[in-house]
């Protein structure tokens, strides 16, 4: 699966194998589902959610729950699981130029409806960036019983806002999680 256009300089020209998402990080206690778009190059290389060293996801989550920023991936996963946060991506499969979300094409969505059906404690879906929100709305109908929160992307590609500004916006998650 590859998309081509006549203009070799176009960002619509994506060549190579489709990129795949990881399995969800979720359990029956999960209250919040954080959705990204599709793992970036560093995440794919390391097989870890939000693996780029400048991605602010893990420091933001740690700050929200009052924990030290984890270093090891197993500790990161334990942190989100302990605080009832599930992770997944909107796209199960898609083509993308490097890690640029704006170039995602020919995407196939993950089975988010099935995940939500099988995890009824989830009461909020959080979009990690506007592209995750846009792709979700393209493929899914929002459910009346869920809250939907659009957060600024934690990706280093979205550096318009710094850590402090992103943390303020992501703080809306505290209420959903019951954190004072």
| Cα–Cα dist 26/120, whole Å | 12
User: Mean pLDDT in the chain?
Assistant: 88
* Percent of the chain whose predicted confidence (pLDDT) is above 70: 86
Query: In the prediction, which pLDDT does 3 show?
Result: 31
Distance of alpha carbon 157 from alpha carbon 14, whole angstroms: 19
29-39 tens-digit pLDDT: 999 999 998 99
Instruction: Give yes or no for a contact between 38 and 19, defined as CB atoms under 8 angstroms apart.
Output: yes
Helix (H), strand (E) counts: the chain: 7, 7
Given 55, 99, 110, 128, the catalytic residue? 55
The answer to whether residue 14 scores a pLDDT higher than 50 is no
CA dist., res. 50 & res. 52, Å (int): 6
Q: Domain map of the chain by residue range?
A: 19-177
Instruction: State how far the Cα of 167 lies from the Cα of 163, in Å rounded to an integer.
Output: 6
> Could you tell me which CATH class the domain 19-177 is placed in?
alpha beta
Q: Write the pLDDT tens digit of every residue in 50-101.
A: 999 999 999 999 999 999 999 999 999 999 999 999 999 999 988 777 666 6
Going by the DSSP 8-state scheme, the letter that residue 103 receives in this structure is G
Enclosing H/E stretch for 57: helix 57-65
As a whole-number percent, the residues of the chain with pLDDT over 90 amount to 71
Reported pTM? 0.87
Q: Taking Cα atoms as reference points, which of 101, 102, 105 lies closest to residue 15?
A: 105
Q: How far apart are the first and last CA of the chain?
A: 47
Q: Residue 39: which of 125, 119, 132, 138 has the closest Cα?
A: 132
User: Could you confirm whether 128 is annotated as catalytic?
Assistant: no
């Amino acid at each position: 699966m590859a998309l081509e256009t006549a203009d070799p300089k176009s960002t619509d020209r994506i060549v190579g194998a489709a990129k795949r998402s990881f399995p969800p990080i979720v359990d029956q206690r999960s209250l919040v589902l954080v959705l990204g778009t599709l793992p970036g190059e560093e995440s794919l290389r390391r097989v870890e959610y939000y693996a780029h060293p400048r991605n602010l996801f893990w420091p933001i989550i740690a700050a929200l729950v009052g924990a030290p920023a984890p270093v090891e991936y197993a500790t990161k996963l334990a942190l989100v699981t302990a605080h009832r946060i599930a992770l997944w991506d909107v796209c199960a499969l898609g083509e993308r130029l490097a890690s640029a979300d704006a170039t995602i094409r020919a995407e196939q969505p993950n089975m988010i409806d099935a995940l939500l059906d099988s995890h009824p404690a989830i009461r909020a879906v959080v979009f990690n960036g506007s592209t995750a929100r846009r792709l979700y709305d393209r493929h899914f109908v929002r459910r009346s019983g869920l809250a939907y929160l659009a957060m600024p992307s934690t990706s280093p590609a979205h550096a318009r806002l710094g850590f402090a500004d992103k943390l303020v916006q992501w703080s809306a998650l505290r209420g959903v999680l019951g954190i004072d």
